[in-house]
Amino acid sequence: MDKFLQQKYLLPIVIFIFFIVNSIQGNYTELLPDEAYYWVYSQYMNWGFFDHPPLVAVWVKISDFLFNNEMGVRFFSSVSFSLLVYLLWITTDHPKKNRFTWLFLLLIFSTALLNVYGFITTPDTPLLLFFSLFLFAYKKYLTKKNTVSYLLLTLSITGMMYSKYQGVLIVFFMVLSNWKLVKDYKLWLVCLGVIILYIPHLTWQYMNDFPSIRYHLYERASVASYRIEYSLMHFVNAIAILGFTFIIIYKAFFKRIKSTNQYHKGLNYIISGFFIFFLLSSFRGHVQAQWIAPIMLPLILITFEYLLDNQKLIKLFNYLAFVNIIIIIIARIIIANEGIIPVKLEFHGNKEWTLKAKKLTQNTDRVFINSFQNTAIFWFYTKEKPHYQKNFLGRKNQFKFIPGNKTFLSDSVSYFTRTSRDYSEIKMSSGKDSIFISFIKDYTSLFEIKIDLINSDEVIIKNNSKNFIKAILENPYDFDIDFKDIFIEIVFQNKKGNEIYSIPAKIDLSSIKASTKENISLEFYPSVINSLDEYPYLGIGIKTANNMDLVKVSSLHRYIIID
């Protein structure tokens, strides 16, 4: 047994076995809704997408070229995970490493979240591959500044930037750990090379008014006031991504945190930098576990070398690692097989509800409201393209750039929502959510219509009296809009932005011509308004005549009530 654990073919044999396991898992596990969303990316390949850079779509496109169904999304992720493991191995140069190949593999395959990226496809999947290449390239650079090391740095940094915008944090924290890097003019050439290779994505951002930057920096939901549970969950996530081995792994990190070795210093800066950056981000809202996923790689490198130098801890690590592995195996079996546990996971039931919905909504156009994930999963499993519309509660997403969603007319529509409507006819399960389907005749999509108040930072409202508000209304469509097709309402919204009530308003126009803006006057008569504390914001809402949902709400304003 000892000879087997030390023999030179152990690493490739185990990597190959896990490649097969990951491929089988990927084939027999239903897609996550987000994976289906990235599959939608791949249907319209471009140099950029609303939420992320394009490399995740490349991963899907390669898989889709080779296979169908789930493997057509995930296959190349199994390949890239195997390459990641090998790159981490060759990055380690500890003199004892060849006698402890089994320990390295145990460390890799017992790290909880890392294993997920062996069979699912998200932007983190290519990011982790190119991060592992970056760690190898940087170590090679520190030992020998040759052409190969500079080219590998250029390739790895470009790959990280094309994978996920977090790549810039990795580079920033590595440079922060070693300011002497700025003195190497060849590294400035590396930066120039990365910028040149990144120009297509920057051009796409510019041509589309920088949608990703606007979303991630300004439009993404943030909390109105600080909640301590967001910061506490960040600490929980830092443990959860590793599993029970976190005891040894973080001990290794803290023991080596003052290392004078330049490479180890860089690893420490990346780990600390990510943790602090996203701890600060928790003051704005919830921080997801995968956002700190990159720290797993430097933690693995640090822990492996630490255990080789402190072999008394290997026995304890083995026990904890085997507990992790048992949990990982059980979890992987559960997510691949619905019904083992009474709780539905995001992996479960998606194929079932989409095929059922396809049958129930035959001979209609399908319109999904606000759930771009459900739209994507329906499209993937039925191979029939639905329409997506975002009302005032929905967030912006890639469907904005997909042809056929801006202008949409239909004689018969199946209207999919995540919340019940008075006219909902069918309810069905979608993973952890519910889906409600309504059937609408003579449907006209007016979700792109725009309305806003004119020069009103604060609005004065009189109770039991006629009120008038000046607004500007824009029709972006290439057809006239008749006001018998829409209703205008004055909307009162709570602080969280998820509850409203509204009162009808009259408009002084009968229609608005195509591609024009009009100044309008809205008349409304509030009988009693006494909810200023509960609903402190006022806006203008638009409903369509054929479904009565608010499709648009203007910017919100404070208001004053006068009796």
Q: Which domain holds residue 320?
A: 2-213+227-336
192 and 46 housed in the same domain: yes
Of 292, 311, 336, which one is at a domain's C-terminal end?
336
412 and 483 housed in the same domain: no
Three-state SS across 493-552?
ECCCCCCEEEEEEEECCCEECCCEEEEEEEEECCCCCCCCCCCCEEEEEEEECCCCCEEE
Tokens at 474, concatenated? 């824009």
Beta bridge partners of 492: 501, 538
- Of 561, 528, 524, 560, the residue nearest 541 (C-alpha): 524
Residue 284 carries which DSSP code?
Answer: T
Q: How far is CA 437 from CA 347, 355, 404, 421, 451, in A?
A: 22, 14, 21, 9, 28
- Of 475, 440, 471, the residue nearest 456 (C-alpha): 471
Q: Is residue 238 part of a domain?
A: yes
Q: Is residue 220 part of a domain?
A: no
332 and 372 housed in the same domain: no
Q: What is the DSSP string of 35-88?
A: HHHHHHHHHT--S--SSS-THHHHHHHHHHHH--TTHHHHHHHHHHHHHHHHHH
Q: Is residue 269 part of a domain?
A: yes
Per DSSP bridges, beta strands 516-524 and 467-475 are: antiparallel
Q: Is residue 135 part of a domain?
A: yes
Tokens at 323, concatenated? 């507990």
The CA distance from 376 to 40, in Å, is 6
Q: Is residue 341 part of a domain?
A: no
Tell me which residues of the chain have a pLDDT lower than 50. Answer: none
70 and 208 housed in the same domain: yes
- Long-range contacts formed by 533-539: CB under 8 A, 24+ apart: 534/494, 535/492, 535/493, 535/494, 535/499, 535/500, 535/501, 536/494, 536/495, 537/492, 537/493, 537/494, 537/495, 538/459, 538/461, 538/490, 538/491, 538/492, 538/493, 539/453, 539/490, 539/491, 539/493
Handedness of CA 19, 157, 220, 389 (dihedral sign): negative
pLDDT in tens, 357-389: 999 999 899 999 888 999 999 999 999 999 998
Tokens at 24, concatenated? 């089988």
273 and 322 housed in the same domain: yes
For residue 545, give the CATH number of its domain. 2.60.40
The CA distance from 37 to 57, in Å, is 10
105 and 155 housed in the same domain: yes
248 and 315 housed in the same domain: yes
291 and 439 housed in the same domain: no
**What's the number of domains the chain is made of?**
3
Q: Which residue has the tokens 């070795």?
A: 261
300 and 331 housed in the same domain: yes
312 and 458 housed in the same domain: no
State residue 124's pLDDT score: 97
Q: Write down how long the chain is.
A: 563
Of 336, 370, 392, which one is at a domain's C-terminal end?
336
Q: Is residue 17 part of a domain?
A: yes
Of 444, 479, 508, which one is at a domain's C-terminal end?
444
The CA distance from 272 to 293, in Å, is 13
135 and 254 housed in the same domain: yes
pLDDT in tens, 421-430: 766 778 877 6
State residue 523's pLDDT score: 85
State residue 434's pLDDT score: 84
136 and 248 housed in the same domain: yes
- Of 315, 55, 89, 6, the residue nearest 163 (C-alpha): 55
State residue 461's pLDDT score: 81
Q: Is residue 219 part of a domain?
A: no
The CA distance from 212 to 397, in Å, is 9
State residue 151's pLDDT score: 97
Q: Is residue 397 part of a domain?
A: yes
